[in-house]
Structure 1
Amino acid sequence: MQSALKIRILGAIVAHTWFGITAIGANPHSNLPVSRLLQEEKADPPLESDHPSLAEDGVQMEKEALPLVKVAHRDVMDLLYLYLLPKSIDIPHYVPFIQQVGVRINWLECLRNLWSNEKKSYGGGVDFHFSGPIQLSFDIGYAAYHPKDIIHPNELKYKSKGGYGVVALLYVMPLNQLNNAYFGVAYGQSQFEFIAYDAHIAPSSNRLAVGWGKLVGGSELRLFPQIYGGMQVGVGHLLHAQKNNDRRISNYFVPGYGRMVNKVMFDMTFYLKWSIFFLEKKIVI
């Protein structure tokens, strides 16, 4: 009974000693007792000096310690409008000198070569559409004509083959978003080889040159993006020609033009064109 009482008294002494030295939640490494801490907290604050110079010095130190504060904008909405709201941008149209370049192929003329043995021809061209409605076109091609029979009023068989070129200045009129029409003037020239076949002598060959003027017109339809199908009609007039010296052959074929005996020639061409556009907008902020 006495031993139990002694143990309880000893535990009370240990607990009192522990809580008297270290406060609950305090830093256990601190050596200051709780009573000392409480005395420091209850200590009176230092008395303010009644001396005016000391008070002014304190106010001046407080002003110097305060950070500088910039004056706010008079209207915050102006800042929001300046930095956050969208502004109008001047976007003038930028028109390059060459707006479009097109590459053409005369598809119907190429298909005719599949069933024609007397005439073989290939043709195509390049179009340069400049600023405005002006277009400059170049056509090139190759043709060979070798009739099996003698054509009236010829007395001999012949063969003509060679290349030709046509340059045209056109005025283009857009009809709608899918169609456009054009008309203009053109000049063509052909240099070809002319061969006459005589049963009694060896074939004779000459180099001939022919030039002609032409009125052209046509239209194009956009089939797919950048792909157009077009038709062109033309009326050509013979301007100058280096004629064949053999009078026995007067009716012969000129590549790119037609029969030599016809001073005026009509033609129709169907083509496909692939166009590359250079139009864009130049943005200036």
Structure 2
Amino acid sequence: MVLSGFVPKPSTPQIGKKSLPAHNKTSTSPVDTPKDIDANAVPLDSLSDTSNAPLLTKPQPLKPIPLANPDPLQPLDQLVTKQSVHMLPYIPFVQEISIGIEGVSLLKNTWNLLKNIKKHEPNRPYEYVGNLNILFRKNIQFSADLGYVKLYPDQLKANKHAYSANGFYGSVGLDYLSRYSITDNIYIGLRYSRAHFTNQTIPTQKDEQAIHKKLTASWFELVLGSETRLLDKLNIYGGCTLRLGWLYNFETFNPSENYIIPGYGSNTNKLAPSLNLYILYKISFIERMIKFT
């Protein structure tokens, strides 16, 4: 095998040694030289180790391959001009859900409870009112109220008997809501309300029997309300509503012609204004605006 860069150089026969001709038949070699071997060929073992062939050089060490940039956006930033991009927030179909309680009735219940502890009154009035609001797209809000009440009104001169009233009332309607700040809003709407309750006379004598009758009443309400955030982290809101009710259908109660309709007021008033205070807990589904820089 001949290495690249090396050329074998025929060596000169050394002095003192006699080379035998290949065709000499009197050679003492036990094996005759084949006829197909070239007589002028030089055996490899006769090459001198002191040849002037160039030596192999040590190869240079390989340079490390530079690693790729882990962030491919950096070279692109040098070619593209940065600009602020604003994306409109995604507005879900249902934006907010609010659950609340009416504050005035809560204060009245607390006051009547404290009085009952002192005077031990057997007939204690109470009222529980809750509401549910669902805000949709286009600032349309569905509102529903539900209340249960038990009343013991004072006897009027126009009535023959004192009475008690207890039952349920509720209202449903739609509002249009407008936000005039991040934490405040105002709305206006129309409600349909209905009450199912029972009036019962309170006997003043032992042999007198109580008269009771199941009654119904219906009315419409025009509502103007406002809300403000009280606690940011808990999403607690406080608000008030100014209502104007119009009574158009009710049943009479002969023992006491002038009586209170739960959720409305006196049946003698065709228009009944009222002011309500409430506390709400809101669950919001609105995503904030996303900004890329």
Answer whether TM exceeds 0.5 for this pair.
yes
Q: CA deviation at 1:169?
A: 1.1
In the other structure, the counterpart of 1:182 is 187
Q: CA deviation at 1:45?
A: 4.6
| Paired residue secondary structure (1:93) | coil
**Kept in 2: contact 1:107–1:272 (CA 8 A):** yes
CA distance in 2, matches of 1:221, 1:282: 22
Q: 1:93-104, aligned counterparts within 5 Å?
A: 93-104=89-100
In the other structure, the counterpart of 2:240 is 231
Q: CA deviation at 1:79?
A: 8.5
**Taking structure 1 as reference, are residues 41 and 241 closer, same or farther at Cα in structure 2, changes over 3 Å only?**
farther
| Paired residue secondary structure (1:261) | coil
Q: CA deviation at 1:243?
A: 2.2
In the other structure, the counterpart of 1:242 is 251
The answer to whether the aligner puts 1:125 opposite 2:131 as a matched pair is: yes
Aligned length: 213
How big is the alpha-carbon RMSD for the aligned residues of Structure 1 and Structure 2? 3.0
CA distance in 2, matches of 1:159, 1:41: 134
Higher share in helix? 1
The answer to whether the aligner puts 1:160 opposite 2:165 as a matched pair is: yes
4+ long deviations beyond 4 Å: 39-43, 82-90
Q: CA deviation at 1:44?
A: 1.1
CA distance in 2, matches of 1:230, 1:224: 13
In the other structure, the counterpart of 1:134 is 140
CA distance in 1, matches of 2:283, 2:218: 31
**Kept in 1: contact 2:86–2:289 (CA 8 A):** no
**Kept in 1: contact 2:170–2:193 (CA 8 A):** yes
CA distance in 2, matches of 1:216, 1:41: 117
The answer to whether the aligner puts 1:206 opposite 2:213 as a matched pair is: yes
Cα deviations by residue, 1:109-129 (Å, 9 ceiling, x for unpaired):
111123336531111101101
Cα deviations by residue, 1:16-75 (Å, 9 ceiling, x for unpaired):
xxxxxxxxxxxxxxxxxxxxxxx96965159xxxxxxxxxxxxxxxxxxxxxxxxxxxxx
**Taking structure 1 as reference, are residues 41 and 231 closer, same or farther at Cα in structure 2, changes over 3 Å only?**
farther
**Taking structure 1 as reference, are residues 268 and 84 closer, same or farther at Cα in structure 2, changes over 3 Å only?**
same
Q: Which residue type is aligned with residue 217 of structure 1?
A: L
Cα deviations by residue, 1:172-213 (Å, 9 ceiling, x for unpaired):
111112211111111110101111234453212211111100
**Taking structure 1 as reference, are residues 201 and 134 closer, same or farther at Cα in structure 2, changes over 3 Å only?**
same
Q: CA deviation at 1:93?
A: 2.3
Q: CA deviation at 1:94?
A: 1.1
Q: Which residue type is aligned with residue 202 of structure 1?
A: Q
The answer to whether the aligner puts 1:80 opposite 2:89 as a matched pair is: no
The answer to whether the aligner puts 1:105 opposite 2:101 as a matched pair is: yes
TM-score of the two chains, using structure 2 as the length reference: 0.65
Q: Which residue type is aligned with residue 124 of structure 1?
A: G
**Taking structure 1 as reference, are residues 82 and 207 closer, same or farther at Cα in structure 2, changes over 3 Å only?**
same
Q: Which residue type is aligned with residue 172 of structure 2?
A: V
CA distance in 1, matches of 2:102, 2:210: 33
The answer to whether the aligner puts 1:252 opposite 2:259 as a matched pair is: yes
CA distance in 2, matches of 1:179, 1:79: 44
CA distance in 1, matches of 2:180, 2:86: 29
**Taking structure 1 as reference, are residues 150 and 41 closer, same or farther at Cα in structure 2, changes over 3 Å only?**
farther
CA distance in 2, matches of 1:179, 1:87: 33
CA distance in 1, matches of 2:225, 2:73: 59
| Paired residue secondary structure (1:201) | coil
Q: CA deviation at 1:107?
A: 2.0
In the other structure, the counterpart of 2:29 is none
| Paired residue secondary structure (1:151) | coil
Gaps of 5+ in 1: 1-38, 47-76
**Kept in 2: contact 1:91–1:281 (CA 8 A):** no
**Kept in 2: contact 1:181–1:218 (CA 8 A):** yes
CA distance in 1, matches of 2:286, 2:79: 32
**Kept in 1: contact 2:99–2:282 (CA 8 A):** yes
Cα deviations by residue, 1:235-280 (Å, 9 ceiling, x for unpaired):
1011211222x2x311111111111121111111111111000012
